[in-house]
Amino acid sequence: MALFNEKQMFPCPVCTSPRAVKITKKDKPYIVCDPCGVQLFVRGPAGITAFDSLVRRGTQDDLWTRLQEMERRYRLICPDCGHRFWVEPGLIETSGWDGSLKGFRCPAKNCDAVVSWRKS
């Protein structure tokens, strides 16, 4: 399994933060992300094998560096409300004048901010 500071790690499926892979008393892997409230338990033999393969590939393919780069490029923070969100086509805001990209609408309720797209 992937090692991150000598611990087996796997990204939270909601926030993508690295989480330690823990092992149950019956030798089955799981992760817990307290900030998101996610608990991911892997049960059957086929699932455990596939999960182990994903964790191993994470280290071999340098998953953590790739995730950091994706977040840097495609996850924005609303300057008005502080909400973090991923760039997606449905949030695009264009200029009514010339059709150019203004940015992305913050998806948080009661927030009308448009977060500008930063070029990288």
**pLDDT tens, 69-91?**
888 888 899 999 999 898 999 99
Q: How far apart are CA 30 and CA 113, in angstroms?
A: 38
Q: Residue 102 falls within a domain, yes or no?
A: yes
Q: Are residues 55 and 103 in the same domain?
A: no
Q: Closest Cα to residue 88, out of 68, 107, 113, 64? A: 107
Q: Give the confidence band of 1 by pLDDT, cuts at 50, 70, 90.
A: very low
Residue ending a domain, choose from 61, 89, 105: 61
**Which of 4-8, 47-51, 102-106 has the least mean pLDDT?**
4-8
Q: Residue 38 falls within a domain, yes or no?
A: yes
Q: Are residues 13 and 43 in the same domain?
A: yes
Per-residue pLDDT at 53: 86
Query: pTM for the complete prediction?
Result: 0.56
Q: Are residues 40 and 79 in the same domain?
A: no
Domain span at 55: 3-61
Q: Are residues 89 and 50 in the same domain?
A: no
Structural domains in the chain (count): 2
Q: Residue 109 falls within a domain, yes or no?
A: yes
Q: What is the mean pLDDT of residues 22-26?
A: 92
Q: Are residues 14 and 52 in the same domain?
A: yes
Q: Considering the chain, what is the average pLDDT of its residues?
A: 85
Q: How far apart are CA 117 and CA 110, in angstroms?
A: 21
Instruction: Show the 3-state SS of 60-79.
Output: HCCHHHHHHHHHHHHEEECC
